[in-house]
Amino acid sequence: MDTTPNSVIEPAEPPPVTSDPEPTPLTETKGCLYALSQPPLMLFLAVIALLLGLTGVHDLLLL
Q: The dihedral of CA 24, 29, 34, 38: what is its sign?
A: positive
pLDDT digits (tens, 9 = 90+) for 5-47: 676 667 677 767 666 556 556 666 777 777 777 888 889 999 9
What Cα–Cα distance (Å) separates residue 53 from each residue in 20, 43, 49? Answer: 56, 15, 6
Instruction: Decide which of 3 and 33 is more confident.
Output: 33
Using CA atoms in the order 52, 57, 60, 63, what is the torsion angle rounded to 10 degrees?
Answer: -90
